[in-house]
Amino acid sequence: MTSKLLEKLFNLVERYREDISNPSHVVVDYKTPSELSDLIRFAIDEHGVSADEFAELMENYLNYSVHTGNRHFHNQLFSGFNFPAFAGDVLSTLTNTSMYTYEAAPVATLIEREIINTMNGYIGYEDGDGIFLTGGSNANLIAMFSARTRMFPDSRFDGLNASGRLTAFVSVHAHYSFENAANLLGIGAHNVIKVAADENGRMIPAELDKAIQSSLERQQIPFFVGATSGTTVMAAFDPLESIADICRKYKLWFHADGAFGSSLILSPKYQHLFRGSQLTDSFCWDAHKLMGIPLISSALLVKSKGTLQFNLSDINTDYIYHNNSEIEDLGKKSVQCGRKVDAVKLWFAWKHYGKSGYAEKMEHLVELAKYAEDIVHRHDKLELVVPRQTLTVCFRYIPSFDTNVDKFNFTVREELRKSGKTMVNVARLNNQMFIRLIISNFENQQADVDQFFDYFIQTARELEQQEMLQHQNHA
């Protein structure tokens, strides 16, 4: 049975690869929840299914899942199919182990160390450290945790009860995970203070200084600043060097959330966006976004060795750790016990493309985003909502009659999603809803961007005509 199903599985992988490289294949064969429940039997039954039924379940899972590898998947900050990383992921799952000890994961331990050192080299941490964890949100949490522990080491054992009111500072465009981190750490989401940004979406350092001053005047305890290198909506980069000066002045932990944007540092052309990165205390980097690694592959880098171990209240669990290797067990730096070998798939991809290969891919992505922006500029019905910074193009279609433009654009997006032609998301800034086109699939070419706008404009025109007819009928 297993070898027959293995053959079926490989056929499905091959079919998926063909589907995503066929420009007219849908991103998703959209079904409502009740249609899906008719197509797939979700209940777990008393007795297991037959080999044929199992094969059908595999096929149906693939048929009705979103093909994020499709060139027209623009809905999230990741997209595409990266074969070397896929191979690494299959090997990781096949060898199913956990990162806590060298004895359980010898090759993966050396791989993770190598990748952390390589990433630290880009950020500029000469004697840094780091850990792979479950994503950018988690990296932001552990960064804030490290800042809290540095400020109040006893809080690891006594809690925060007697510590006073801690305050953290991020830009108005920062990711929501900072508020969740403050909530989880007992600091409180309301104590994450939002600092104003300029029209390019970058935190204004003078506003940060003012916000810290006001917090001190309120007898609060500022302890953490989170800059963003690649904001979720505008893909904007906060000025790290100027923010570092302020963190030094007030002795605050300085973290940069590069979950989305960090990978641009791989190209010398975009390293200026990270000027001052070596002055941060911690940096987060999601390889599962722009580097095209299957989720999850995410690292938190820290400037000082020992930081991560110091956070933890007990790392001497002798049922796992026997101190019997010539190398440190990486589990002693992690709040997780079982931990997937997420650096492995990244290592395979990085080995395959090399540093220069990834540099070219990052340059290609930014050029494609610029190409998309030019299309918006040239089209008389499309309006750029905010200036493009790097990889996202935020625009809306302006219909020729008086209507709710937010609703109109959302409807176009919904029509496209349900047709399966393309998936693109909306976002909201300054009380306006707009389309956020994310360029994150480095396999894409200009023809794919053209095709996206053809789909979008055609659907918008059809909707415009329908609504105009309805207006005329009501008049």
Ligand X SMILES: Cc1ncc(COP(=O)(O)O)c(C=O)c1O
Of 149 and 228, CB closest to ligand X = 228
The rounded Cα 34 to chain-centroid distance in angstroms is 30
Angle, vertex CA 291, rays to CA 289 and CA 295, nearest 5: 50
Residue nearest to ligand X (CB): 136
DSSP per-residue codes, 290-354: TT-PPSP-EEEEESSTTHHHHH-S----TTT----SSS--GGGG-S-SS---HHHHHHHHHHHHH
Between 175 and 202, whose beta carbon lies closer to ligand X?
A: 175
How many CB atoms neighbour CB 4 within 10 A? 12
Question: 298 or 441, CB closer to ligand X?
Answer: 298
Least gap, CB of 357 to ligand X (angstroms): 23
Q: Can the peptide bond before residue 438 be classed as cis, meaning omega within 30 degrees of 0? A: no
Alpha-carbon 334 to chain mean position: 20
Q: What is the DSSP letter of 475?
A: -
Say how far apart CA 390 and CA 392 lie, in whole Å: 6
- Total residues at the site for ligand X (CB under 6 A)? 15
Piece of 35-43, 224-232, 314-322, 356-364 that binds ligand X (CB under 6 A)? 224-232
Identity (one letter) of the amino acid at 287?
A
- Shortest distance in whole angstroms from residue 288 CB to ligand X: 7
Which residue is associated with the tokens 């200026």?
Answer: 272
- For ligand X, give the closer residue by CB, 173 or 332: 173
Which listed residue (71, 72, 148, 175) binds ligand X by CB under 6 A?
175
Contact window for ligand X (CB under 6 A) among 104-112, 120-128, 132-140, 179-187:
132-140
> What residues have CB less than 8 Å from 386, skipping those under 6 apart?
199, 200, 201, 234, 394, 429
Stretch touching ligand X by CB under 6 A, among 13-21, 226-234, 389-397, 448-456: 226-234
- Min dist. Cβ of residue 136 to ligand X (A): 3
Reference 131, options 323, 282, 352, 293; nearest CA is 282
Q: Which residue's CB is nearer to ligand X, number 243 or number 382?
A: 243
Query: Which residues lie closer than 8 Å to 82 by C-beta, 6 or more apart?
Result: 291, 292, 293, 294, 349
Token pair recorded at residue 332: 């002693």
Residue (55 or 301) nearer to ligand X, CB: 301
The H or E element spanning position 427 is strand 423-429
* Nearest residue (CB) to ligand X, 75 versus 191: 75
Q: Which of 259, 368, 369, 412 forms a contact with ligand X (CB under 6 A)? A: 259
Footprint of ligand X on 177-206 (CB under 6 A): 177
User: Which candidate, 323, 375, 454, places its Cα nearest to that of 23?
Assistant: 454
For residue 311, give the amino acid letter: N
Which residue, 142 or 375, has its beta carbon nearer to ligand X?
A: 142
Q: For residue 440, state whether it binds ligand X (rule: CB under 6 A).
A: no
**CA 378/CA 342 separation, integer angstroms:** 42
Using the contact rule CB under 6 A, the part of the chain among 81-89, 225-233, 392-400, 403-411 near ligand X is 225-233
Per DSSP (E only), the strands in 62-139 are: 73-74, 129-133
Least Å from the CB of residue 358 to ligand X: 19
Residue 7's contacts (CB-CB under 8 Å, 6 or more residues apart) are none
Closest to ligand X by CB, 187 vs 463, is 187
Selected binder of ligand X within 145, 260, 408, 455 (CB under 6 A): 260
Please identify, using beta-carbon distances, which residue of 285 and 452 lies nearer to ligand X.
285
> Quick one: 298 or 311, whose CB is closer to ligand X?
298
Q: Give CA torsion, residues 177, 181, 182, 188, to 10 deg.
A: 80
Residue closer to ligand X, measured from CB, 232 or 311: 232
Smallest separation (angstroms) from ligand X to the CB of 166: 21
Please state, in angstroms and rounded to a whole number, the distance separating the CA atoms of residues 36 and 6.
25
Q: Tally the C-alpha atoms within 13 A of residue 69's C-alpha that lie toward its C-beta.
A: 19
Choose the stretch contacting ligand X; rule: CB under 6 A; options: 54-62, 133-141, 344-352, 381-389: 133-141
Least Å from the CB of residue 339 to ligand X = 15
Q: Which of 137, 155, 389, 440 binds ligand X (CB under 6 A)?
A: 137
Task: Specify the stretch interacting with ligand X by CB under 6 A; choose among 37-45, 184-192, 223-231, 358-366.
Answer: 223-231
- Tell which positions 76-95 bind ligand X, by CB under 6 A: 77
Q: Which of 228, 282, 311, 422 binds ligand X (CB under 6 A)?
A: 228
Report the site for ligand X in 270-309 (rule: CB under 6 A): 286, 298
Whole-number minimum distance, CB 294 to ligand X, in Å? 13
Which of 232, 440, 441, 451 touches ligand X by CB under 6 A? 232
Q: Which residues in this chain contact ligand X in the complex, by CB under 6 A?
A: 77, 135-137, 175, 177, 228, 230-232, 257, 259-260, 286, 298
